[in-house]
Structure 1
Amino acid sequence: MPFHRRSFLAGLSLLAAAPAARAQSWPAKPIRLVVPYPAGGSTDVLARVIAERLTATLGQQVIVDNKPGASGNLGSDLVAKAPADGYTLVMGNNATHATNQSLFPNHPYDAAKDFAPIALVAGVTHVLVVHPDVPATDIRGFVAWAKAQGGKVNYASTGNGSASHLTMELFKGLAKIDLTHVPYKGTAPAVQDLVSGQVSTSFQTMPSVIGQIRAGKLRPLATTGKARAPALPGVPTVAETLFPGFESDAWFALFAPAGMPADIVTRLNGDILKAMALPEVKDVAAKAGFEVITSSPAELGTFVRAEIEKWAKVVKASGATVD
């Protein structure tokens, strides 16, 4: 065999072996997992569970770094612009990687193009709740009652452009009802005024209202997942009662900067799926009100693009914007 041909074939062998060698040598230093929200929130809780498991699996510390600001845009943009070497990741969600793109006029990154999707990790359903003084006991009765009120019914959200706001706007459009939006600065004050009767109704995440539901302080009418929520098995979904296909769960997923080597993406995905399948991880998630939901990188990428398109229509119809 001529020397130049032997050299060429040897080069091909080295190229073929490069991804495997890189996957084996990575990680060679600690990994930064950015949480674009303050410590203690839902995204942070999930990130810390995953960071602990990945630290044990990868043999390098995975450090959670809280970078809150601009409804999650600040920390997410930091990761979008970081080197795609596997050492900077972000725990994103339906806000950072779907709705924010339409809500912010000068959004700093493209949620679909500037990230390498790694894996979905969990979801949490919303619940349509009403104050006990509302005469409706089911979702059909609520729609009929709201129509009869002629726009006098107030609903709470956790802020302009929040998931609770956009979920109700999506529901309003389908149900053809007129409700008055009352935005709050977060979940706690919104739920407090719901319980006191200052506002009549709201879509809230399961963890934020399950205690009040069990105490009889709020009445659940429907949930927003594909299937009934395990925590409220007797409460039907919006999809099964009124609007087939209706879905508005909050979700959480891991992303890296676009261009990260595919072999590292594959390894991370496999390690995350194994971690989320552990009984103790599922138990922690369930107690916090989450449902473990995982995916392949390709499935997550397709899901994110669909979410961006879906919520862009809702944002446009609602007129919501965040400066």
Structure 2
Amino acid sequence: MKHRTVVASRRRMLCAALLAPVAMLSATMSLANDAYPSKTIRIVVGFAPGGGADIVARQIGAQLSKQMGQPVIVENRPGATGTIAATNVSQSSADGYSLMLASQSTMVIAPSMYARLPFDPIKDFKPVTQLVSMPLVMVVHPSVPAGSVREVIELVRAGKLASYASSGPGGPQHIAGELFNTMSGIKLTHVPYKGESAALTDVIAGTVPVMFANVPVVAPFIKSGKLKAIAVSSLSRAPGLPNVPTVSEAGLRNFEVLTWYGLFAPANTPSAVVQKLSDEATVALKQPELRAKFAEQGLSILGTTPAQFGKFMTAEVPKWAGVVKAANIQAE
């Protein structure tokens, strides 16, 4: 009997010893989660100010700052399809204070365009949440005598339209332009810019007549008459532009190119911090004021969990690799 008591006692001591580190780790993660954030958070954007990514980052950042009680600043590091920003964040401290707002152009298209990248979008980052998605809208300068997709195609075939602008090689705008070329059997020459704002300036000026642009960026110019909206790139009409048909409706069946934006953290960021960020973003996306702004800009709210976003990312990389190869899109 005494022997059994001693054995049982030793087993309890062994279990306690084994469970102690787990309990300490759990307590540490809980404390880290409770203490976070205690200073300024930066959201790095790989594109110039004024573009779709910048607009979303500033709006979600402002709401997160209200909720979390710390400043959330947006830092623009444009260039190379957002890969400059991605490299910076992947090499930053994994403490939850350096985040990146990125789209598929950086995280799933760039790996197929560049022979070598200084980061791996899957291994070097933890997905936090996929925030929003939106279609692009084909816009033309008011001087272009076209009000439909068919008329744009006819002008190109007649040699009266020659080029389209984009925010840079490999982005959704570039992808949309090349897919439009392929599906319509025409050839608009790609004119890449360093950022959407720079491209838009030249389209408004009439220097380049056509562009697939992010809805929130061009909506004010469509309303003011400085640009004409031809069609949106989603399969259903955009909430912010209900009177604008889809490219698919206009005859190029199943044409679809969507832009999405999501938050990412460096790979070794504690899971508790990533989860807190994801939870806070979910709360932010439920706020009526922010929802109204996003709806007005034609954005569809997503707010996925880290696990859902990770699964989505894993599937996106090979899908877009096929598109890049088929269209022969290369870094310029």
- Flag whether TM exceeds 0.5 (same fold): yes
Q: What CA distance in whole angstroms lies between the structure 1 residues aligned with 2:331 and 2:232?
A: 27
1:260-315 deviation digits (Å, cap 9, x = unpaired): 33333222212111111101222343456644332122222233334433333333
Equivalent residue, structure 2, for 1:236: 245
User: Structure 2 vs 1, CA of residues 199 and 57 (structure 1 numbering), >3 Å: closer, same or farther?
Assistant: closer
Q: Does 1:172 align with 2:181?
A: yes
Q: Counterpart of 1:82 in structure 2: which amino acid?
A: S
Q: 1:31 touches 1:86 (CA, 8 Å); kept in 2?
A: no
Kindly report which structure 2 residues correspond to 1:59-98, keeping only aligned pairs within 5 A, or say none: 59-98=69-108
Q: 1:8 aligns with which of 8, 14, 20?
A: 14
Unaligned runs of 5+ in 1: none
Equivalent residue, structure 1, for 2:41: 32
Q: CA RMSD in A?
A: 3.2
Structure 2 SS opposite 1:255: strand
Q: Does 1:50 align with 2:56?
A: no
Q: 2:81 touches 2:171 (CA, 8 Å); kept in 1?
A: no
Q: TM-score, normalised by structure 1?
A: 0.82
Q: 1:169 touches 1:314 (CA, 8 Å); kept in 2?
A: no
Equivalent residue, structure 1, for 2:302: 293
How many Å apart are 1:77 and its aligned residue? 1.5
Q: Does 1:18 align with 2:25?
A: yes
**Once structures 1 and 2 are overlaid, which stretch shifts more, 107-116 or 237-246?**
237-246
**Once structures 1 and 2 are overlaid, which stretch shifts more, 113-122 or 62-71?**
62-71
Unaligned runs of 5+ in 2: none
Q: What CA distance in whole angstroms lies between the structure 2 residues aligned with 1:311 and 1:235?
A: 27
Identity %: 36
How many Å apart are 1:20 and its aligned residue? 6.0
Q: How many residues get paired?
A: 322
User: Structure 2 vs 1, CA of residues 83 and 163 (structure 1 numbering), >3 Å: closer, same or farther?
Assistant: same
Q: 2:240 touches 2:295 (CA, 8 Å); kept in 1?
A: no
Q: 1:126 aligns with which of 136, 152, 157?
A: 136
How many Å apart are 1:152 and its aligned residue? 5.8
Structure 2 SS opposite 1:321: coil
How many Å apart are 1:192 and its aligned residue? 4.4
Q: What CA distance in whole angstroms lies between the structure 2 residues aligned with 1:65 and 1:182?
A: 26
Quick check: which has more Rg, 1 or 2?
2
Q: What CA distance in whole angstroms lies between the structure 2 residues aligned with 1:131 and 1:36?
A: 28
Q: TM-score, normalised by structure 2?
A: 0.81
Equivalent residue, structure 2, for 1:104: 114
Kindly report which structure 2 residues correspond to 1:269-308, keeping only aligned pairs within 5 A, or say none: 269-286=278-295, 290-308=299-317
Structure 2 SS opposite 1:238: coil
Q: What CA distance in whole angstroms lies between the structure 2 residues aligned with 1:34 and 1:267?
A: 16
Equivalent residue, structure 1, for 2:158: 149
Q: 2:168 touches 2:193 (CA, 8 Å); kept in 1?
A: yes
Equivalent residue, structure 2, for 1:213: 222
Q: What CA distance in whole angstroms lies between the structure 2 residues aligned with 1:23 and 1:239?
A: 50
Q: What CA distance in whole angstroms lies between the structure 2 residues aligned with 1:34 and 1:195?
A: 30
1:78-131 deviation digits (Å, cap 9, x = unpaired): 222334343432222233212222333332111122211110112332111234
User: Structure 2 vs 1, CA of residues 121 and 194 (structure 1 numbering), >3 Å: closer, same or farther?
Assistant: same
Q: Counterpart of 1:120 in structure 2: which amino acid?
A: Q
User: Structure 2 vs 1, CA of residues 212 and 54 (structure 1 numbering), >3 Å: closer, same or farther?
Assistant: closer
